[in-house]
Amino acid sequence: MLRSFGLWLRSWHDSHRMLQGKIKCIFTVLFIALPFTWFLKASYNSTIAPLVTPGQDIGARGILTLRNFLPSGNKVIINHVHVRPRPWSDSLPTIYVITPTYYRMVQKAELTRMSNTLLNVVNLHWIVVEDSDRSGQRNVGLKWLRDTFSVNDSRPGVVYFGDDDNTYSLELFDEMRYTKKVSVWPVAFVGAMRFESPKVNASGKVYGWNAKYAPDRPFAIDMAGFAVNLQFILSKPDVYFRLHGIPSGHQETRFLEDLVTLSDLEPKAENCTKVLVWHTRAAAPPLYKGYGNPYIET
């Protein structure tokens, strides 16, 4: 009997030790997990949740906002494609980047690369326009700006027509931010040249163009090579991109002819001696038909 009692006592002691160990583990997990869970909840409620209120336009609060204008031009879908708050300063002008895009194999890749660049730019609002002959692409973005802001609005800003098949240096956005009327700079890999560029004299004034394609254009410049002051474009309500009867490569020059003269241009990028934007359009990849899951978005 004593032996049986001893075995029982030993078994009870072992079970008690195991129970104590389990209780200790449970309390350890609770002490670690509960504060961490509370911290995550508090962080979400204080920093993220207020920024993603349904229906709220949060582009002006530093969130990268994608405005998708349908081809009809009658409906606007606002998608918040990123909810990490970027640095925002009330003392800096806002850069409004208007990007026309269209469906193609590399569209998502191009827009992803561009969005990752723009997320690093302070005070930037991205307007993405669905490609359509009827809506006028960039003109839809201009219309939204004119409908949203008045010419007497004291909010400083600059408008840039940034295509999704370009590569942008972050320095470029610092260069354009304080544009007074229209600022200009070189663009690489366009017009069958290493780069096209405004010609700048010793006085810092633009007097011509380094371009091979249609060099006699009054403004022989690529769409990625200029930015316009927001208040200045608002003061010219009738200036739009012409869609019909314009030769290829002449949209930029006709647009700028309606805005400024050559002497009004403001050369940036160290008097147009530095390249800060490249026309690096992605080539459609060669694909084997019938391979892979066709329902996976690329």
**Do 240 and 139 form a contact (C-beta atoms < 8 A)?**
yes
What pLDDT sits at residue 17?
59
**Each residue's pLDDT tens digit, 118-130:** 999 999 999 999 8
Catalytic residue chosen out of the listed positions 252, 266, 270, 297:
252
User: Percent of the chain, pLDDT > 90?
Assistant: 55
**Each residue's pLDDT tens digit, 52-87:** 333 334 344 444 545 555 444 445 555 555 555 556
Rounded mean pLDDT, 187-206:
96
Nearest of 192, 191, 185 to residue 168 by alpha carbon: 185
Rounded mean pLDDT, 238-265:
93
- The CATH H-level (homologous superfamily) assignment of domain 64-278 is Spore Coat Polysaccharide Biosynthesis Protein SpsA; Chain A (3.90.550.10)
What pLDDT sits at residue 4?
54
What pLDDT sits at residue 248?
81
**In the chain, where are the structural domains located?**
9-47, 64-278
What pLDDT sits at residue 246?
86
Instruction: Give Cα 280 distance to the centre of its chain.
Output: 17
**Using 50, 70 and 90 to split pLDDT, how confident is the model at 164?**
very high
Q: What is the mean pLDDT of the chain?
A: 79
Rounded mean pLDDT, 204-209:
97
Catalytic residue check, 297: no
pLDDT at 133 over 80: no
Among 48-52, 111-115, 219-223, 250-254, which stretch is predicted with the lowest mean pLDDT?
48-52
Q: In one letter, which amino acid is 47?
A: T
Strand partners, 209: 198
What are the b/e assignments for 15-51, b being 16+ CB within 10 Å?
A: eeeeeeeeeeeeeeeeeeeeeeeeeeeeeeeeeeeee
Which is more confidently placed, 165 or 130?
A: 165
What pLDDT sits at residue 276?
98
pLDDT at 147 over 70: yes
Please, what sign has the CA dihedral across residues 155, 156, 162, 168?
A: negative
pLDDT at 19 over 70: no
Pairing of strands 94-101, 157-161: parallel
SS3 for 33? helix
What pLDDT sits at residue 262?
96
pLDDT at 8 over 60: no
Among 50-59, 125-134, 184-193, 239-248, which stretch is predicted with the lowest mean pLDDT?
50-59
pTM: 0.73
